[in-house]
Structure 1
Amino acid sequence: MNGSIQITEAALASLIGLTAHEIPGVVGMAPSNLKEGLSRVLGRANVSDGVVISRDGGRYAADLYVVVAYGVSIPTVARNIVERVEHTVKTQAGIELAAARVHAVGVQRV
Protein backbone atom coordinates (compact mmCIF):
# COMPACT_ATOMS: atom_id res chain seq x y z
CA MET A 1 0.00 0.00 0.00
CA ASN A 2 1.52 3.28 -1.09
CA GLY A 3 -0.90 5.71 0.53
CA SER A 4 -1.24 6.83 4.09
CA ILE A 5 -4.14 7.30 6.43
CA GLN A 6 -4.46 10.35 8.62
CA ILE A 7 -7.04 10.71 11.34
CA THR A 8 -7.74 14.31 12.27
CA GLU A 9 -8.06 15.46 15.86
CA ALA A 10 -11.68 16.41 15.10
CA ALA A 11 -12.45 12.86 13.92
CA LEU A 12 -10.69 11.43 16.96
CA ALA A 13 -12.68 13.75 19.27
CA SER A 14 -15.96 12.67 17.64
CA LEU A 15 -15.08 9.00 18.00
CA ILE A 16 -14.24 9.51 21.67
CA GLY A 17 -17.37 11.55 22.37
CA LEU A 18 -19.65 8.99 20.72
CA THR A 19 -17.96 6.22 22.67
CA ALA A 20 -18.45 8.05 25.97
CA HIS A 21 -22.18 8.39 25.23
CA GLU A 22 -22.47 4.60 25.11
CA ILE A 23 -21.51 4.28 28.78
CA PRO A 24 -24.44 3.82 31.16
CA GLY A 25 -24.64 6.80 33.50
CA VAL A 26 -23.39 9.39 31.00
CA VAL A 27 -26.07 12.03 30.38
CA GLY A 28 -24.06 14.12 27.93
CA MET A 29 -20.94 16.08 27.22
CA ALA A 30 -20.23 19.54 28.54
CA PRO A 31 -18.21 22.27 26.84
CA SER A 32 -14.78 22.44 28.45
CA ASN A 33 -14.50 26.20 28.06
CA LEU A 34 -17.48 27.51 30.02
CA LYS A 35 -16.36 30.24 32.39
CA GLU A 36 -19.56 30.62 34.40
CA GLY A 37 -20.30 27.01 35.29
CA LEU A 38 -22.31 24.44 33.50
CA SER A 39 -24.98 26.20 31.48
CA ARG A 40 -25.70 23.55 28.87
CA VAL A 41 -25.27 19.87 28.23
CA LEU A 42 -24.53 18.77 24.70
CA GLY A 43 -26.31 15.83 23.13
CA ARG A 44 -24.97 13.45 20.52
CA ALA A 45 -24.92 16.09 17.77
CA ASN A 46 -22.11 18.01 19.48
CA VAL A 47 -20.23 15.25 21.28
CA SER A 48 -16.80 16.46 20.24
CA ASP A 49 -17.38 19.77 22.08
CA GLY A 50 -16.87 17.89 25.35
CA VAL A 51 -13.59 16.33 24.23
CA VAL A 52 -10.21 18.07 24.19
CA ILE A 53 -7.42 16.32 22.29
CA SER A 54 -3.79 17.16 23.02
CA ARG A 55 -0.41 15.77 22.04
CA ASP A 56 1.67 14.28 24.82
CA GLY A 57 5.19 13.38 23.71
CA GLY A 58 4.09 12.58 20.18
CA ARG A 59 1.04 10.61 21.38
CA TYR A 60 -2.53 11.76 21.76
CA ALA A 61 -4.22 12.39 25.09
CA ALA A 62 -7.91 13.08 25.62
CA ASP A 63 -9.80 15.03 28.27
CA LEU A 64 -13.52 14.28 28.43
CA TYR A 65 -15.93 16.66 30.15
CA VAL A 66 -19.06 14.71 31.04
CA VAL A 67 -22.32 15.12 32.89
CA VAL A 68 -23.39 11.99 34.74
CA ALA A 69 -26.77 10.78 35.90
CA TYR A 70 -27.78 11.42 39.49
CA GLY A 71 -27.36 8.32 41.64
CA VAL A 72 -24.60 6.59 39.70
CA SER A 73 -21.11 5.90 41.02
CA ILE A 74 -19.03 8.62 39.39
CA PRO A 75 -15.70 6.73 39.82
CA THR A 76 -17.23 3.62 38.22
CA VAL A 77 -18.64 5.59 35.29
CA ALA A 78 -15.28 7.35 34.82
CA ARG A 79 -13.37 4.03 34.82
CA ASN A 80 -15.83 2.58 32.30
CA ILE A 81 -15.39 5.61 30.04
CA VAL A 82 -11.59 5.37 30.13
CA GLU A 83 -11.58 1.63 29.42
CA ARG A 84 -14.07 1.85 26.56
CA VAL A 85 -12.48 4.95 25.00
CA GLU A 86 -8.97 3.47 25.08
CA HIS A 87 -10.22 0.20 23.54
CA THR A 88 -12.33 1.89 20.85
CA VAL A 89 -9.61 4.33 19.79
CA LYS A 90 -7.08 1.50 19.56
CA THR A 91 -9.33 -0.87 17.59
CA GLN A 92 -11.14 1.62 15.35
CA ALA A 93 -8.44 4.25 14.77
CA GLY A 94 -5.25 2.29 15.47
CA ILE A 95 -4.16 4.91 18.00
CA GLU A 96 -3.00 4.18 21.53
CA LEU A 97 -3.83 7.09 23.82
CA ALA A 98 -1.15 8.33 26.21
CA ALA A 99 -3.95 9.27 28.61
CA ALA A 100 -7.72 9.52 28.82
CA ARG A 101 -8.89 11.81 31.62
CA VAL A 102 -12.53 12.11 32.66
CA HIS A 103 -13.82 15.31 34.26
CA ALA A 104 -17.28 14.93 35.78
CA VAL A 105 -18.47 18.52 35.55
CA GLY A 106 -22.09 18.00 36.47
CA VAL A 107 -24.78 15.67 37.74
CA GLN A 108 -28.27 15.64 36.30
CA ARG A 109 -31.49 13.79 36.99
CA VAL A 110 -32.64 11.80 34.00
Structure 2
Amino acid sequence: MSGSIHITEAALASLIGLTAHEIPGVVGMAPANLKEGLSRVLGRANASDGVVIGKDNGKFTADLYIVAAYGVSIPTVARNITDRVEHVVRTQAGIELAATRVHAVGVQRV
Protein backbone atom coordinates (compact mmCIF):
# COMPACT_ATOMS: atom_id res chain seq x y z
CA MET A 1 0.00 0.00 0.00
CA SER A 2 1.40 3.40 -0.91
CA GLY A 3 0.28 6.81 0.14
CA SER A 4 1.39 10.36 -0.06
CA ILE A 5 2.27 13.02 2.43
CA HIS A 6 1.10 16.57 1.94
CA ILE A 7 2.58 19.30 4.12
CA THR A 8 0.40 22.40 4.10
CA GLU A 9 1.76 25.90 3.82
CA ALA A 10 0.37 26.58 7.30
CA ALA A 11 2.31 23.64 8.78
CA LEU A 12 5.46 24.73 6.96
CA ALA A 13 5.04 28.31 8.22
CA SER A 14 4.62 27.05 11.81
CA LEU A 15 7.75 24.88 11.55
CA ILE A 16 9.73 27.83 10.19
CA GLY A 17 8.38 30.25 12.82
CA LEU A 18 9.21 27.90 15.69
CA THR A 19 12.71 27.38 14.28
CA ALA A 20 13.35 31.11 13.92
CA HIS A 21 12.36 31.72 17.55
CA GLU A 22 15.18 29.37 18.66
CA ILE A 23 17.91 31.51 17.09
CA PRO A 24 19.83 33.71 19.53
CA GLY A 25 19.28 37.36 18.71
CA VAL A 26 15.66 36.95 17.60
CA VAL A 27 13.33 38.78 19.98
CA GLY A 28 10.22 37.85 18.05
CA MET A 29 8.41 37.90 14.77
CA ALA A 30 6.70 40.93 13.26
CA PRO A 31 3.30 40.93 11.56
CA ALA A 32 3.83 40.24 7.88
CA ASN A 33 0.55 41.82 6.80
CA LEU A 34 -2.44 43.80 8.02
CA LYS A 35 -4.57 40.73 8.84
CA GLU A 36 -1.78 39.26 10.94
CA GLY A 37 -1.23 42.60 12.66
CA LEU A 38 -4.92 42.80 13.60
CA SER A 39 -4.88 39.24 14.92
CA ARG A 40 -1.94 40.07 17.15
CA VAL A 41 -3.64 43.25 18.44
CA LEU A 42 -6.69 41.11 19.26
CA GLY A 43 -4.49 38.72 21.23
CA ARG A 44 -4.29 35.85 18.76
CA ALA A 45 -0.71 34.95 17.95
CA ASN A 46 0.61 31.68 16.65
CA ALA A 47 3.85 30.04 15.56
CA SER A 48 3.48 31.10 11.95
CA ASP A 49 3.31 34.84 12.73
CA GLY A 50 5.89 36.72 10.70
CA VAL A 51 6.32 33.93 8.14
CA VAL A 52 5.06 34.17 4.57
CA ILE A 53 5.22 31.06 2.40
CA GLY A 54 5.31 31.53 -1.37
CA LYS A 55 6.10 29.49 -4.46
CA ASP A 56 8.80 29.98 -7.07
CA ASN A 57 8.78 27.58 -10.03
CA GLY A 58 6.82 25.04 -7.96
CA LYS A 59 9.20 25.19 -4.97
CA PHE A 60 8.41 26.81 -1.64
CA THR A 61 9.96 30.11 -0.57
CA ALA A 62 9.95 31.61 2.92
CA ASP A 63 10.01 35.24 3.97
CA LEU A 64 10.58 35.81 7.69
CA TYR A 65 9.86 39.17 9.32
CA ILE A 66 11.88 39.36 12.53
CA VAL A 67 12.55 41.72 15.39
CA ALA A 68 16.22 41.51 16.36
CA ALA A 69 17.73 42.07 19.79
CA TYR A 70 19.50 45.39 20.22
CA GLY A 71 23.28 45.00 19.98
CA VAL A 72 23.41 41.83 17.88
CA SER A 73 24.86 41.58 14.38
CA ILE A 74 21.72 41.50 12.26
CA PRO A 75 23.51 39.98 9.22
CA THR A 76 24.87 37.17 11.45
CA VAL A 77 21.43 36.53 12.97
CA ALA A 78 19.89 36.48 9.47
CA ARG A 79 22.50 33.96 8.24
CA ASN A 80 21.89 31.78 11.30
CA ILE A 81 18.14 31.87 10.70
CA THR A 82 18.55 31.01 7.02
CA ASP A 83 20.94 28.11 7.71
CA ARG A 84 18.84 26.65 10.53
CA VAL A 85 15.46 27.08 8.78
CA GLU A 86 16.71 25.45 5.58
CA HIS A 87 18.22 22.55 7.56
CA VAL A 88 15.09 21.97 9.68
CA VAL A 89 12.71 22.18 6.71
CA ARG A 90 14.89 19.74 4.75
CA THR A 91 15.28 17.22 7.60
CA GLN A 92 11.85 17.46 9.25
CA ALA A 93 9.60 18.16 6.26
CA GLY A 94 11.68 16.77 3.38
CA ILE A 95 11.37 20.07 1.50
CA GLU A 96 14.11 22.11 -0.17
CA LEU A 97 13.28 25.81 -0.02
CA ALA A 98 13.91 27.75 -3.24
CA ALA A 99 14.64 30.89 -1.21
CA THR A 100 14.74 31.98 2.42
CA ARG A 101 14.62 35.73 2.96
CA VAL A 102 14.98 37.37 6.37
CA HIS A 103 13.58 40.88 6.83
CA ALA A 104 14.70 42.65 10.01
CA VAL A 105 11.77 45.00 10.59
CA GLY A 106 12.64 46.10 14.09
CA VAL A 107 15.18 46.14 16.88
CA GLN A 108 14.28 45.83 20.54
CA ARG A 109 16.09 45.78 23.84
CA VAL A 110 15.68 42.51 25.69
Scaled by the length of structure 1, what TM-score is found? 0.88
What are the residue-to-residue correspondences of 1:48-59 with 2, within 5 Å? 48-59=48-59
Q: Aligned residue for 2:104? A: 104
1:33 Cα shift?
Answer: 1.3
Give the superposed CA RMSD.
1.7
Runs of 4+ in structure 1 deviating by more than 3 angstroms, as ranges, are: none
Question: How many residue pairs get matched?
Answer: 103
Amino acid at match of 2:101: R
Gaps of 5+ in 1: 35-39
Q: Aligned residue for 1:13? A: 13
Give, in whole Å, the separation in 1 of the partners of 2:21 and 2:69.
12
What are the residue-to-residue correspondences of 1:1-110 with 2, within 5 Å? 1-34=1-34, 46-110=46-110
Gaps of 5+ in 2: 35-39
Q: Percent identity?
A: 83
Amino acid at match of 2:100: A
